[in-house]
Every structure is written in C-alpha cells, then in structure tokens.
Structure 1
Amino acid sequence: MSILPQPVEGPAIAAAVALAAWRAGSLSAGGAIAATVVGSVAAMAGWPWGAFLVGWFVTASAASRAGRAVKEAATGDVVAKGGRRDHWQVLANGGVFALCALLAMLYPAWAPQAAVAGASALVAAGADTLATETGTWWGGRPWSLRTFAPAAVGTSGAVSAAGTAGMAVAALLLAQMARTVDMISAGEVAVVAAAGVGGALADTLIGAWWQARRWCPSCHKETEQNLHRCGTVTRRTGGMAWLGNDAVNFLCTAVGAAAGTAMLTVPR
C-alpha cells in the first residue's frame, strides 16, 4: 500500500463529511471538529485509510439512526448519551485508528502492520456499535454477563441473541469493506474480523464488570447517567468511578488493534 500524504484534499474532504454529519444530527459541533481531525490524519495516511473511515462512519451512523425513536424510548433511562456523537465518543471510537494511521505515515516500513491494527480497531468499534443498535432495535431481553440475570435494554455488559448476531455480521462486513478499499489484503480479512469480535467482546466484559454503575433512588433503576432524566442525582453502586462508556469504547478499539497485530501471520 502506498503512503501518499494528502495535505489539502484529505483534510478538506474530512471537514466536508464532518460538516454534513453535523447538519444531519449525527455529530455535535465538538464531535464534528474531532471527526475532522481523525479524518484528516486518516486521509493523509493514504486514501484507503480515509475511504474505510468514511465507509465505517456511514455504516455506523445509518445503524444509529435506524429506528432511533424506538431505541431512545427503550434506553432513555439507561444510556448517558444520545445518538449525536460528541468529541469524546469520536475519539473513543476513532482515536486508536488515527494513531495507527499516524504510525503508518511516520514509519512506512510498518504501514502494513499498522493497517491491520487500524482496521481491527475500527472493526471492533463498529461491531460493538452494531451489536448495541441491533439488540436494541430488534428487541429481546438482554442478559447481564455479571449477574447472569435479565437486564434493562441498553445496560453495559448485557448481551442478547440479536445483538450477538449483529456483532458477528458487522465484523465480517466491515473487515470485507477494509479489503474492498485495499486497506488490507484478502488473507487478512479473517484476522481483522476476528480481532474486531475480540475487541467487541472485551467491551462487553469490561462494561459488565468494571464500568461505573449508578442507581437512581427515585426511579429505582440502574443507569449510566450522573443526573437521571427524572432530574435525580444518581449514586454509584459499583465499578470504577472514572471508567465510563467512552473509556470502555476506547479500550474496545485498543484490544481490537492489539488482537489484530497478535494474530497477523499472513504476509502482505
């Protein structure tokens, strides 16, 4: 893969895509700025990087917007943030990918390995996103991996049959997308897909055991919100106080990148 810096065109396209996403309600203003930075770095690493990032973002945004009203009604008491991604969410999902792109630029000899790691990170983020969106939209009672009991829809660390299927399908499709834009080779598709599933599973396990859990004393509901939507200040009941959903998503991508690197055995 050639590494051709795009000093003007790449950032301009990244800004245009971010602006369109902001106008469509997929990104907040801060999220659009962060997306421009991530997109610019990706495009400057080479067009395959930029193309995969755009394809990933369109797929994830479409999944988030599909059935939004139904999903927000189901998860409004639980999740801390809505469908419009802010800068922390953008960096949590795309930060590791951008670091891999930067590595490919600075050290061209490592570019093939960086591409696998970057693709694996983004596939992990996408598989996790699609698992959540599919499980929420298609319904079915999720089960907590921590308590092995039914959990509220949207609870971190909970799984459902629909969500698990969505995760696996998303990992395969996104890995193939990375191959289609020539970011990875055909022999690396299975590696990237498996690494993406590994990252998404790590996200679920971390979310179940270590992510901060909170409780609304007024509604008697578990939630991720510091201020519940009923207006009551919630109290922490478990997990690490500093470990919120954005941090867990970042760890998801880091595990995906690490797994992809570890499993990389097919030469390019």
Structure 2
Amino acid sequence: MHDPVAGGVMPTLAGAAVGTGLAALVAGSAWRAGSLSRSGAMAALVIGSLAMTAGRGWGLFLVVWFVTASVASRVGRHTKETATGDVVAKGGRRDAAQVVANGGVFALCALSNFAFDTPALALAGAAALVAAGADTLATETGTLWRGQPWSLRTFAPVPSGTSGAVSLAGTVGMTAGAVLLALSAAVCGLIDPSDVTVVALAGVAGAVADTVIGAFWQLRRWCPACQRETEQAVHRCGKPTQAWRGVPWLNNDVVNFVCTVTGAVLVAGVRIVS
C-alpha cells in the first residue's frame, strides 16, 4: 500500500469513508458560514472526498487552500462588495460552477492518482490550486486595499472588480499568495520542497493568463439603463443587460478554469522536460 501521509493513495473502503466524512464536515461548515452556496457545498463535498481519499497530503492542502481563499474573501467583505457590486456577476458565496472552476483540475489529478500515483500528478494538482489561489488573492487584496485597477486591454483605469485589470496591491497579493500556497503544499507533504519555486511560478503564470484572457476575450455585458459595463446578466439596478463584447460562452468561471489548467500544464511540462 502506498504511503498515505504524502501524495500516496489510500485504496480502502475505510479510507474512502473517512475521507468523505471529513470532506462533508468541511463543506457543511463552509455552507453554514456562508462561504459556499448549497450547490457549492455539494461540489466541494465531491472534490474534497476525492482529495481526502487520494492521500493525506492532497486533503490537507485542499483544506489549507480553501481556508485561505475563504478568509481572504470574507475579510472586508462589505467594503469589497460595495466597490464591486456594479461589476461582478456573483457574490461571496461560491456556487458549484465556481468550486469546479477552481478545484476541478485538482480533483481530476487526485482521481488520476488512484491509477498512476506519480509526483507529476501531485505537482499538477498543486499548481492548479496555487494558480486559483493566486488569482483569488490578487482580486481580494486589490479590492480590499482599493488599489486603482488598470485594464490590460485599454491601459485605462477601470472600476474595481473588472476582469482583465491589474493593480499594484493585487499584483503583490497574487505573488505572495502563490509563494505561500506553494510552501503550504510542501508543508502538507503533497510536493517536495525542491518543487516549491516551480509550483509558485506556474501558479503566477496561471493567474496572469486569467488576467490576459479576462482583458481581451471574456464576455462583457452592458447595462443600457446605467450605461455601464458589467458581468451581470441582470444589473444591480434591476435591468437586464446585453451581451456587448467578448466570446459569448467565456464567462468568469470558464476563465478561472483555464487559469488552473494553465498552472497544471506548465508545471507538468517542466517536469517532463527536466
């Protein structure tokens, strides 16, 4: 049997039952705390069960990541919601689409670990979550500290919460978040300490890809009543919005998923080359 302390699998019914129970406890607590919607809690239960059963390192890192993202989202929530209320499509409660967008690649790597159990899968899974976390922390710190965001597409200032924009505070949060999460993956035993740098860099690259795609191709909508750009199908004013520019199916959840894929693929590519 593989060592369950790190990335190794626990191929027993007892291990699966314990993993599912722990995942249910975490998902239920997050739902009661308001971090997840009902659908988000169900998606988190599935992803958490796979991670917990895949090995202790997988499960521990997912918990650390989730706690980090949840705390970052909750700190100054009222201030951030006030600043971004005209723009962002979804509020603080993560729904199933958001959970899968951020954790789906990690879950796929955990599932594949049952068959292959290789360090490359652990690296890819860790990099996917680090990319998602770096992107989340960039948004949360940039909004909380009221850094002035600038669009990568127009190089003009834009409202807080606008996809495809960068700020100094957000960039610092992204970089620090990637480093801290990569270190956490090593402490949890998911990756080797020697791989922290490459996982952190892959995470930053994924977050940067998210920003670039958000700036040039993500779907944007227009509120004819307020004469404002938004990501909301129904604007905060109550009026339906119109698709304005960008790829129709490329919403924020899809862009976030691409962010995690980018992180995972880059670190896997580095491992193959080396």
TM-score, normalised with respect to structure 1: 0.97
* 2:64 equivalent among 40, 55, 58: 55
Contact 1:187 1:266 in 2 (8 A): no
Contact 2:132 2:203 in 1 (8 A): yes
Partner residue, 1:15: 24
* 2:161 equivalent among 154, 157, 163: 154
CA deviation digits over 1:182-205, x for unaligned, max 9?
100011000100000000000000
**Residue 114 of structure 2: SS of its match in structure 1?**
helix
The separation in 1 between residues aligned to 2:208 and 2:88, in whole angstroms, is: 19
* 1:90 equivalent among 94, 99, 120: 99
Contact 1:100 1:114 in 2 (8 A): yes
Partner residue, 1:4: 10
CA deviation digits over 1:73-121, x for unaligned, max 9?
000000000010000000000000000111111112xx21000000000
CA RMSD in angstroms, aligned pairs only: 1.1
Contact 1:188 1:266 in 2 (8 A): no
Q: CA deviation at 1:48?
A: 0.4
Contact 2:10 2:16 in 1 (8 A): no
- 1:228 is aligned to 2:241: no
Q: CA deviation at 1:264?
A: 2.3
Query: Which letter does structure 2 place at the counterpart of 1:107?
Result: F
- 1:32 is aligned to 2:41: yes
The separation in 1 between residues aligned to 2:243 and 2:270, in whole angstroms, is: 38
* 1:136 equivalent among 138, 143, 158: 143
Query: Which letter does structure 2 place at the counterpart of 1:147?
Result: T
**Residue 64 of structure 2: SS of its match in structure 1?**
helix
Sequence identity, in percent? 62
**Residue 16 of structure 2: SS of its match in structure 1?**
coil
Query: Which letter does structure 2 place at the counterpart of 1:69?
Result: H
Structure 2, unaligned runs of 5 or more: 1-6
- 1:240 is aligned to 2:241: no
The separation in 2 between residues aligned to 1:53 and 1:222, in whole angstroms, is: 35
After the TM superposition, which residues 198-217 of structure 1 pair with which residues of structure 2 at under 5 Å, given as runs? Answer: 198-217=205-224
The separation in 1 between residues aligned to 2:195 and 2:273, in whole angstroms, is: 7
- 1:193 is aligned to 2:200: yes
Contact 2:135 2:207 in 1 (8 A): yes
Q: CA deviation at 1:174?
A: 0.1
Contact 1:145 1:205 in 2 (8 A): yes
CA deviation digits over 1:4-40, x for unaligned, max 9?
2321100000001000000000000110000000000
The separation in 1 between residues aligned to 2:93 and 2:16, in whole angstroms, is: 29
Deviating more after overlay: 194-203 vs 227-236: 227-236
**Residue 222 of structure 2: SS of its match in structure 1?**
strand
**Segments of 4+ in structure 1 off by > 4 A?**
none
**Residue 264 of structure 1: SS of its match in structure 2?**
helix
Query: Which letter does structure 2 place at the counterpart of 1:128?
Result: D
- 1:120 is aligned to 2:127: yes
Number of corresponding residues = 265
Contact 2:47 2:103 in 1 (8 A): yes
The separation in 2 between residues aligned to 1:73 and 1:134, in whole angstroms, is: 15
* 1:181 equivalent among 182, 185, 188: 188
Query: Which letter does structure 1 place at the counterpart of 2:255?
Result: V
Contact 1:191 1:264 in 2 (8 A): no
Q: CA deviation at 1:2?
A: 2.8
The separation in 1 between residues aligned to 2:193 and 2:133, in whole angstroms, is: 20
Q: CA deviation at 1:265?
A: 6.7
Q: CA deviation at 1:266?
A: 9.8
Contact 1:121 1:253 in 2 (8 A): yes
TM-score, normalised with respect to structure 2: 0.95
Partner residue, 1:71: 80
Q: CA deviation at 1:165?
A: 0.5
